[in-house]
Amino acid sequence: MPTNPPATVNRCGYCGASSYHRVVARDEAGAMRYTSTLQCTGCGREFTDLQDWRQGGQAAQSAAAAP
């Protein structure tokens, strides 16, 4: 009986952790608010979007390298 290998789509591209959370920071008024930044629970790297987290920052590096 064939089995499907586990999907690795939802993993950090750097460390392989399977979870992340939204970063919380103080706004101008001093209240704690969620930001648009994500942080990996494994390596602690911060990402701007989920795709960047999955690819380990390769999307951002590719965009920066493009002329």
For 15-35, write each residue's pLDDT tens digit: 999 999 999 999 999 999 999
pTM for the predicted model, two decimal places: 0.68
Residue 67: both structure tokens together: 């002329």
What's the pLDDT at 6?
57
Q: How many domains does the chain have?
A: 1
Taking alpha carbons only, the member of 11, 14, 22, 17 closest to residue 49 is: 22
Predicted confidence at residue 56, as pLDDT, reads 82
Mean pLDDT across the chain: 81
Specify which residues 21 forms β-bridges with.
Answer: 39
Instruction: Please calculate the CA angle 11-32-14 and round it to the nearest 5 degrees.
Output: 20
**Is residue 67, in this structure, part of any structural domain at all?**
no
Whether pLDDT at 38 is above 70? yes
Among residues 44, 32, 40, 46, the alpha carbon closest in space to that of 10 is found at: 40
Express as a percent the part of the chain with pLDDT over 70. 72
**CA 59 – CA 62 distance, rounded (Å):** 5
Range of the domain at 45: 20-59
Please indicate, yes or no, if residue 34 is contained in any of the structural domains: yes
